[in-house]
Amino acid sequence: MDWREEVGRGLKSAFPIVLGYLPLGFVYGVLAREAGLDLFTIVLMSVLVYAGSAQFIAVSLLASGAAVLSIVFTVFLVNLRHLLMSASLAPYLRRHHPGLLALLSAEITDETFAMAMAHYAHHKPSLFYHFALHLASHSSWVLASFLGGLMGNILGDPGRWGFNFALPAMFIILLIFQLKNKKTLLVAGIAASLSIAIAILLPGNWNIILAACLAAAIGVALEPWMGTSG
Report the chain (230 residues): mean pLDDT per 10 consecutive residues: 84 91 88 86 93 82 77 79 82 81 85 87 85 94 94 69 63 70 84 88 73 80 65
pTM: 0.70
Residue closest to 45 by CA, chosen among 60, 34, 56, 61? 56
pLDDT confidence of residue 229? 47
pLDDT confidence of residue 172? 74
Calculate the average pLDDT of the chain.
82
